Amino acid sequence: MIDLDFGAVLAQWPLLLKGVAFTAGLTLVSAVVGVALGVACAWARAWGPRALAWGVAAYVELIRNTPFIVQLFFIFFGLPGLGLRLSPEAASVLAMVINLGAYAAEIVRAGVESTPRGQVEAGVSLALSRAQVFLHVVLPPALARVWPALVSQIVIVMLGSAVCGQIATQELSYFANLIQSRNFRAFESYIVATLLYLALAVALRRLLNWAGPRWLFGR
């Protein structure tokens, strides 16, 4: 008979709570900066000078075709070889921002490119600068169109952040590891952490679906 003891894991609730809070914070910061980076890259690819567009395309392909854990290890273990030594937290945020930026760039670009030409021309004819046209005419409806895809991607990045515990960033999976190393209840500990991730994913999706229309692209 299997003998499960969830009590031993749940007794460590302050650690679990700390982990949930850290994962949420990590995701929030990366989501804001990552989406901003994605928008900048989408602008560069759709409207920017040719050389910049090529550079962004290379960045996007490179990130989308390599695993997140390798990107994280490269930043945390590899970059000190170039003299850039980052704390685990900084390396985690940087890796998540770079990762999300590449995916968001493709998603936002799809929205930007589906903008009817007439809207851009209408903006220009009102004597708006190119930057103003992009920010006020093209971007808000483009974001509204691709928001569901963007939300899914942010959730994927949040779930991916479980790997950050491997470089000793103190997020949820790190504490799940710590708890099981103390009481040897590995399975129970990971079940609890997994359910907490599931709850975080559902909550994050709800939050973003509510916050996007309210603050990002009106109505």
Partner 1 sequence: MVDFTLWDIVRNLLLAARWTVALSLIAFVGGGLVGLLLLVARVGRWPGAAGLVAGYVQLFQGTPLLMQLFLAYFGLPLLGVQISPWTAAALALTLYASAFLTEIWRGCVEAIPKGQWEAAQSLALSFGEQMRHVIGPQALRIAVAPTVGFLVQVVKGTALASVIGFIELTKAGTMIANATFAPFTVYACVALMYFLLCFPISAWSRRLERRLSLGR
**Interface positions with partner 1 (CB under 8 A):** 2, 4, 61-62, 64-71, 73-74, 77-82, 155, 159-163, 166, 173, 176, 180, 186-187, 190-191, 193-194, 197-198, 201-202
CA-CA-CA-CA torsion for 83, 87, 90, 94, nearest 10 degrees?
50
Question: What's the closest the beta carbon of residue 165 comes to partner 1, in angstroms?
Answer: 8
Question: What's the closest the beta carbon of residue 180 comes to partner 1, in angstroms?
Answer: 8
d(CA 147, CA 95): 22
Nearer to partner 1, 112 or 193 (CB): 193
Nearer to partner 1, 61 or 113 (CB): 61
Nearer to partner 1, 54 or 77 (CB): 77
Smallest CA-to-CA distance from 174 within 71, 3, 21 is with: 21
> Which residues does 163 contact at the CB level (< 8 Å), separation at least 6?
68, 69, 72, 173
Nearer to partner 1, 100 or 143 (CB): 100
Question: What's the closest the beta carbon of residue 187 comes to partner 1, in angstroms?
Answer: 5
Strand locations in the chain (E)? none
CA distances from 87 to 32, 167, 169 (A): 20, 9, 9
Question: What's the closest the beta carbon of residue 11 comes to partner 1, in angstroms?
Answer: 19
Question: What's the closest the beta carbon of residue 78 comes to partner 1, in angstroms?
Answer: 4
Nearer to partner 1, 3 or 219 (CB): 3
CA angle 43, 49, 53 (to 5 degrees): 60
